[in-house]
Structure 1
Amino acid sequence: MSSLNTKIQHVFNEPACENNQGKDVKARKKGCSKPLTPGAAAGGCAFDGAKIVLQPITDVAHLIHAPLACEGNSWDNRGTASSGPTLWRTSFTTDLTELDVVMGRGERKLFKAIREIKEAYTPPAIFVYSSCVTELIGDDIEAVCKRATEKFALPVVPVNAPGFAGSKNLGNKLAGEALLEHVIGTAEPDDAGPYDINILGEFNLSGEFWLVKPLLDRLGIRVRACIPGDARYFDIACAHRARAAMMVCSTALINLARKMEQRWDIPFFEGSFYGITDTSEALRQISQLLVKKGADPEILGRTEALIAEEEAIGWKKLAAYRPRLEGKRVLLNTGGVKSWSVVHALMEIGIEIVGTSVKKSTVEDKERIKHILKDDNHMFEQMAPRELYAMLSEHKADIMLSGGRTQFIALKAKTPWLDINQERQHPYAGYDGMVELVRQIDLAIHNPIWRQVREPAPWDCQPAVREELPRTKRETTTLHVVQEFTGTTADDRGEW
């Protein structure tokens, strides 16, 4: 337990974190996370955060040492995609029971589970996750994993991130620490080259990294390891031989990027593949870092030629949407890198940003938003559901981009909504991804269903009252109708 506390405090005191850089020594020792309160981890505990970072490693067996519910609640928690192995889609757990806890059989059961996985699936490695229960009863998963590694000649990696340790973001960083301590640098590639890079914090949601990788392939740049999206264990083990790195989500794995730079001299920068301009800038910075590390400078010219070609195609496709979307107002309720990169991407085609959440954004992210929007009036740390509903129901935004948790607020306000977070069904990265994002926004805003649901329901409409006509005119009208119906006149039929 003491070793876990040391790791947590070490992760909190992250030198590369903009938050910590602005603190004095005394404040920095308290950590960069707010004190936990009961229920504070309801949005995702440390165990959940570690699983998010490591589960996309597709050829590894992920074993949860916990009661069944822990794995049941965290399995398939993100829409990541794999181009090959599917072992990561298989759920493994020791399924501890009350009797196992009382009788102290947890460690023995864990060792047996590791042996069964090795014999049945022969994975290149097994990741073992601790949980609240196993940490509280004192099961030493590090000792069990060390013994299993020796016994089965198979890497068995302990991931010490029990849920009660803290928030999901802390779990992200603890997962990065596990990779640094047990995986990265444990294998040597036989094909290392001057154009190898790492991509950190990219989860390949809906397969969107597959829209970016062909661009790098055309430049002759090889992704040595994409951590964690569509990753392989051996690639991550060899990640220390990359020449440069791009950090996509700094809030999740900034500690991993910094320590890899310290240990193996791998420079990194934070960038984004959302939007035409930011994608181009990311490609430029990757090429520049590689040249600084010894690559042939001719790659800079090839990069500019590729950017010019792709931008021309992208802007031509987006031109068709500009007349339909220019001036439309978007409320962005997300965080992290999307809080500024998506803002920039949408403003490029004339969309107005009426607000963007910065709850999960770093200080640097917030400064970028201020620079893009020219002020901070459209930034909000957190907006209560009641406030969100009021803003949307008053038609202050034409569409809301957010995660699945707030979709029903938009639907209740009869406002178009598009998923921009991990549950999204469409890839939005790169040049083609930007076109797809704009296409989905256009489809959502101009969907005819919104005009229909905003109209009063038929049962709420009062029947129209016919205006009363003068008596003489009513009689004349009635006589005219009877004449048309019978084909006779009043004189032919006598008195009425």
Structure 2
Amino acid sequence: MKAMQEPACEHSVKNNNHKGCAKPKPKPGEAAGGCSFDGAQITLLPIADAAHLIHGPIACGGNSWEGRGSLSSGSNLHRYGLTTDLNEQQIIFGGEKQLRDAIRGIVDRFSPPAIFVYSTCITALIGVDLDAICRSETEKLGISIIPVNSPGFVGSKNLGNRLAGEALLDYVIGTAVPPFESKWDINLIGEYNIAGEIWDIKELLNQVGINILSKITGDGRFNEVRWAHRAKLNMVVCSRALINMARKMEEKYDIPYFEGSFYGAKETTLSLQTIARLLNDKELIDRVYAFTNQEEKKLDQEISIHRKKLKGKRAVLYTGGVKSWSIISALQELGIDVVGVGTNKSTNEDIARIRERVGKDVELIESGGAKKILQTFRKEQGDIMIAGGRNMYVALKEHIPFIDINQERHDAYAGYKGLKKLAEQLVNSLENPVWQMVKLRPPWEER
């Protein structure tokens, strides 16, 4: 499979068995916490005006309305849980008729510009020719019906991200031109608008005159993804999982790319300045450097009180992939010591970046779930846990202050505004009066 080997990701070439890279022969259970099907949906579902149809049993359609925190400024079609809902008989005799009927039903009801059709473990195993069906329905119906061949058993969530990127490259990007272009057009790749973060990033970029030509894919629209090949620069936002898309667009369309982050003031400044430098325009460079200096000074004043309260606090960060290192920078700017970091979905490069930021002595939590997190928290005498929603109830039961950092969250932490919001949330969590109340002895024990 072409997505298994990615030249721009050194680990998929040098160490094919590394946890977090694509594997040609995954073992049962290794996709726990995110399979390829899940990864493909994470990448493509934020294209808000397209329909997303799951070809398989109803259990694979669990990601329906409000299933993710990827927000849209317009259409909500992406939030519908559309599935062919194959039963046992259809699985035995083939589900082609159900798929064609579902596609036509979606067209009649919603009239979307495109339909993404996702294969699942079941439909891949019984040999459904998804490509041929989508091709014939595209010709008959006159809209784009795009096959996404990412059944869960082929590998990890990161591989699913890459397979989704391949689908966009093969069927979408390069099929239209934008109504207007500017000299500072860029694409954001790998930003999914969790809690509306892309809106804050867009506001930042617009203040210096940089235009986001295509959002891939947070708050995205199908047509704008089609003309992504006309951008002057690609920024891969905290996600090596879509590095294949950036590399291939550089090869095919001569669009340079770089990897950056908008978590923390320093990372935000670096990303903005890198964009200006790669666009190679002196006017833009001068404008960006003046703007970032101004925003950093303003932010220092706004969060100075929060820094005093957070200085020296000890945090355990349990989140996978790129957030395991990109959030560290933001926490350190607030004076927080990160004493434990989850690496269960991180690549070798992610772990190397963690080490650069926190040193070699920090506790790395590779696996073990809640039990291991609590052991680390107690051993390192932590003050707050920063993790995904699935660990929230563990923190509450153990009377531990908690911040949700994963895709289900409702607070945006990107950019200068996001760092201020993060500081406020951390202080609010640590100073919540409930933590003093739970330490009190119950009245019947005081007698």
Q: Report TM bin, short chain.
A: over 0.9
Q: Who is 1:16 aligned against?
A: 8
Work out the CA distance in 2 between the residues paired with 1:184 and 1:325.
45
Work out the CA distance in 1 between the residues paired with 2:282 and 2:128.
54
User: Offset at 1:393?
Assistant: 4.3
> 52-61 vs 366-375, which deviates more?
366-375
> 196-205 vs 83-92, which deviates more?
83-92
For residues 291-317 of structure 1, the C-alpha deviation after alignment (integer angstroms, 9 at most, x for no partner) is 1xxxx3210000011112211221111
SS in 2 for 1:138: coil
Work out the CA distance in 2 between the residues paired with 1:162 and 1:21.
23
| Pairing partner for 1:121 from 110, 118, 124 | 110
CA contact (8 A) 2:22 2:156 kept: no
CA contact (8 A) 1:388 1:409 kept: no
User: Offset at 1:412?
Assistant: 2.7
CA contact (8 A) 2:172 2:225 kept: yes
SS in 2 for 1:281: helix
CA shift in 2, pair 1:454/1:27, >3 Å: closer
Alignment of 1:256-295 (within 5 A): 256-291=245-280
CA shift in 2, pair 1:261/1:153, >3 Å: same
| Pairing partner for 1:372 from 332, 357, 362 | 357
CA contact (8 A) 1:19 1:32 kept: no
For residues 64-102 of structure 1, the C-alpha deviation after alignment (integer angstroms, 9 at most, x for no partner) is 111222113566432010011111122222222223233
Q: Who is 1:62 aligned against?
A: 52
| TM-score normalised to structure 1 length | 0.85
Q: Who is 1:488 aligned against?
A: none
Work out the CA distance in 2 between the residues paired with 1:178 and 1:281.
31
| Pairing partner for 1:457 from 430, 442, 445 | 442
CA contact (8 A) 1:392 1:410 kept: no
Q: Who is 1:4 aligned against?
A: none
For residues 324-381 of structure 1, the C-alpha deviation after alignment (integer angstroms, 9 at most, x for no partner) is 1111111111132222221111111211111222332333333322222243534343
SS in 2 for 1:456: coil
User: Offset at 1:237?
Assistant: 0.6
Aligned length: 445
CA contact (8 A) 1:251 1:361 kept: no
Work out the CA distance in 2 between the residues paired with 1:89 and 1:142.
24
The structure with more radius of gyration: 1
Work out the CA distance in 1 between the residues paired with 2:40 and 2:249.
19
Q: Who is 1:472 aligned against?
A: none
| Pairing partner for 2:432 from 420, 425, 447 | 447
Unaligned runs of 5+ in 2: none
User: Offset at 1:401?
Assistant: 0.2
For residues 380-411 of structure 1, the C-alpha deviation after alignment (integer angstroms, 9 at most, x for no partner) is 43354323223334671000100012223322
**Letter aligned with residue 148 of structure 1:** E
Q: Is 1:43–2:43 an aligned residue pair? A: no
User: Offset at 1:158?
Assistant: 0.4
CA contact (8 A) 1:329 1:398 kept: yes
CA shift in 2, pair 1:190/1:372, >3 Å: same
Q: Who is 1:349 aligned against?
A: 334
> 437-446 vs 386-395, which deviates more?
386-395
**Letter aligned with residue 13 of structure 1:** Q
User: Offset at 1:236?
Assistant: 0.6
SS in 1 for 2:71: coil
Q: Who is 2:86 aligned against?
A: 96
For residues 107-157 of structure 1, the C-alpha deviation after alignment (integer angstroms, 9 at most, x for no partner) is 122112212222222111111111122112211111111001111111110
Alignment of 1:242-257 (within 5 A): 242-257=231-246
For residues 253-306 of structure 1, the C-alpha deviation after alignment (integer angstroms, 9 at most, x for no partner) is 111111111111111111110111110111001111111xxxx32100000111
Q: Who is 1:489 aligned against?
A: none
**Letter aligned with residue 68 of structure 2:** R
Work out the CA distance in 2 between the residues paired with 1:454 and 1:171.
45
| Pairing partner for 2:284 from 299, 306, 312 | 299
Alignment of 1:105-120 (within 5 A): 106-120=95-109
Q: Who is 1:166 aligned against?
A: 155
Work out the CA distance in 2 between the residues paired with 1:90 and 1:344.
36
For residues 41-82 of structure 1, the C-alpha deviation after alignment (integer angstroms, 9 at most, x for no partner) is 231221111111111100101111112221135664320100
**Letter aligned with residue 85 of structure 1:** S
CA contact (8 A) 2:174 2:227 kept: yes
CA contact (8 A) 1:332 1:401 kept: yes
Q: Is 1:325–2:310 an aligned residue pair? A: yes
**Identity of paired residues, percent?**
48
**Letter aligned with residue 81 of structure 1:** L
CA contact (8 A) 1:392 1:415 kept: no
Work out the CA distance in 2 between the residues paired with 1:98 and 1:378.
47
SS in 2 for 1:128: strand
Work out the CA distance in 2 between the residues paired with 1:390 and 1:367.
23
CA RMSD in angstroms comes to 2.0
Unaligned runs of 5+ in 1: 1-6, 464-496
CA contact (8 A) 1:243 1:266 kept: yes
CA contact (8 A) 1:45 1:168 kept: yes
**Letter aligned with residue 259 of structure 1:** K
Work out the CA distance in 2 between the residues paired with 1:84 and 1:32.
34
| TM-score normalised to structure 2 length | 0.94
SS in 2 for 1:240: helix
> 380-389 vs 54-63, which deviates more?
380-389
Alignment of 1:391-402 (within 5 A): 391-393=376-378, 396-402=381-387
**Letter aligned with residue 169 of structure 1:** N
Higher RCO (CA < 8 A, seq sep 6+) = 2
Q: Who is 1:480 aligned against?
A: none
SS in 2 for 1:327: coil
Work out the CA distance in 1 between the residues paired with 2:161 and 2:149.
11
**Letter aligned with residue 158 of structure 1:** P
Q: Is 1:134–2:126 an aligned residue pair? A: no
> 313-322 vs 243-252, which deviates more?
243-252
CA shift in 2, pair 1:73/1:234, >3 Å: closer
Work out the CA distance in 1 between the residues paired with 2:64 and 2:127.
22
